[in-house]
Amino acid sequence: MIRWAAMMLCLLFALAGPACAQAAPPAAPSHDILLMLHLPAPHFRADGYSGASYRDDAGRQARQRIAAALAREHGLQMMEDWPMPALNVDCYRMRPAAGQDPAAVLAALNRDNRVAWAQAIQEFSAQGGTGAPGASGTPGTSGTSGDPLYRVQPAAAPWQLEQLRKSATGRKVLVAVVDSGVETTHPDLAGQVTVQENFVDGQSYVAEAHGTAVAGVIAARADNGIGIAGIAPEARLMALRACWQADSGTRCNSFTLAKAINYALLHNAQVINLSLSGPPDRLLQQLVGVAQARGIRVVGAIDPARSDGGFPANSPGVFAVAADDAPRHGGQCLLAPGRDVPTTMPGARWGMVSGSSYAAAHVSGMLALIGELKPQLSGERLHEGIVRSSGPAPLTGIDLCATIMRITGKCSCACPNPSSDKLARSP
């Protein structure tokens, strides 16, 4: 039955046309820099996230004058600014003149006592590919969960998802998907997205393959008679578009990501999914640190091409995830399903995807399940409570039933007795 469903799914992929036209990527700010000015405590107000909605007080106007003066002194063009009250700074994107050495400009700015810090805008990329989309409608054959592709989901049987839904569904847990655009009207995602925002300059919000696929893995509707079932089908998603689809993949940068993460921090996200990777970045590192200090779970996708896994996966406390067929990147790396994963695609379709992006999405869904049952558990205790799988193939790297039983004491599938487990009784 499983093999037949997989064959049908592949046939539908082959017969289907493209789901939607790709959006042209925005101009790459390859030499743009970010300049941060301190936001004094009396002017802090975490009730907005954009220049238009932020209070236009005297302190803000003074910082704008300082930024304009710095731009003139260093021959920079001020492109835009964005308040980031989560870090108590205003962030200004500036562009060096043609022929200027960005490194020299940054060095000079970082010596100026008016500047909190200045840095280059860096590029990041999603860690997953998308296959050909399947036909719209109801692909495959019905599974026991009522979702036709449930049986070919690689986590369905090993993670005992159908049984786990008796204990937890991720109900009301808010997961920020910081990614490319999510198709919020997809029949498997309709009603799952509570917030949709765009942080990519020069573009309107558009549904794209990578973000839609990640969203489906986390929270596609269950038992609706179509498509797949998400790991946490009653979680709620924040679709924060900080990346864009390009011919060579899905791209993001320091500024777009920072704006989206800042938004997630100000709007009570409980899990932040970052299915992307790139170089170390001071602004993003500080935002991730604030998230962790607030008890928000941050999930990052391992870049197999980087020896350290890349940022944010290599940051302490981040749930670093690799695809289950990839080599490990250190003892703290989690393995989750990341090969031949059926999921949602733009155009009300489904497709097969692979990569650590989707492994990370599985873990974000897992954290939403745990967050419903044990919302106050510290990040450190949560890391300690994850049980690695063992036994016959197929292995997915995590024994989800045992993990939930160990952490929460609640499980509706075959789990050991938790009576002696201190984690299950801790707050």
Alpha-carbon distance 270 to 236, whole Å? 10
pLDDT at 8 over 80: no
More confident residue, 53 or 295: 295
pLDDT more than 90, % of the chain? 69
Q: Is pLDDT at 3 greater than 50 in this prediction?
A: no
pLDDT digits (tens, 9 = 90+) for 137-159: 545 444 445 899 999 999 999 99
- Catalytic residue, from 43, 210, 329, 362: name it: 210
Residue 383 backbone dihedrals phi, psi, to 5 degrees: -55, -45
Counting DSSP H helices and E strands in the chain, the numbers are 11, 18
Q: Which long-range contacts (CB under 8 A, 24 or more apart) does 97-106 make?
A: 100/31, 100/75, 102/31, 102/33, 105/33, 105/74, 105/75, 105/76, 106/33
d(CA 78, CA 97) in angstroms, rounded, equals 11
* 106-120, 329-343, 402-416: segment of lowest average pLDDT: 402-416
Residue 182 above 50 pLDDT?
yes
Rounded-to-integer distance, Cα 390 and Cα 412, Å = 20
Quote the CA–CA distance of 368 and 233 in Å, as a whole number. Answer: 10
Reply yes or no: is the peptide bond before residue 25 cis, omega within 30 of 0: no
pLDDT at 397: 87
Does 53 qualify as catalytic in the annotation?
no
Q: For this structure, is 43 an active site residue?
A: no
Q: For 116-125, b where at least 16 C-beta lie within 10 A, e where not — what string?
A: bbbbbbbebb
DSSP codes of every residue in 169-208: --TT-EEEEEES---TTSTTTTTTEEEEEE-STT------
Q: Is the pLDDT of residue 418 over 80?
A: no
Each residue's pLDDT tens digit, 292-351: 999 999 999 999 999 899 999 999 999 999 998 766 555 678 999 999 999 999 999 999
CB 407 within 8 A of CB 423: yes
pTM of the predicted protein model? 0.88
Query: Residue 19 above 80 pLDDT?
Result: no
Catalytic residue among 357, 362, 364, 399: 357
Amino acid at 267: H
Task: Spell 59-73 as b/e; 16+ CB within 10 A means b.
Answer: ebeebbebbeebbee
Q: In which band, very low, low, confident or very high, does the pLDDT at 127 lie, cut at 50, 70 and 90?
A: very high
Q: Which pLDDT value is given to residue 355?
A: 95
Cα Rg of the chain, angstroms: 22
Residue, of 405 and 394, whose pLDDT is higher: 405
Active-site option among 90, 179, 188, 324:
179
What's the mean pLDDT in 113-122? 97
User: Which range has highest mean pLDDT (8-17, 320-329, 376-385, 386-395)?
Assistant: 376-385
Determine contact, residues 127/299, Cβ cutoff 8 Å.
no
Are β-strands 76-84 and 89-96 bridged in parallel, bridged antiparallel, or unpaired? antiparallel
> Any catalytic annotation for residue 357?
yes
Q: Which domains does the chain have, with CATH numbers?
A: 2-21+125-422 (3.40.50.200), 33-120 (3.30.70)
List, in sequence order, every residue forming a beta bridge with 396; answer none if it has no partner.
none
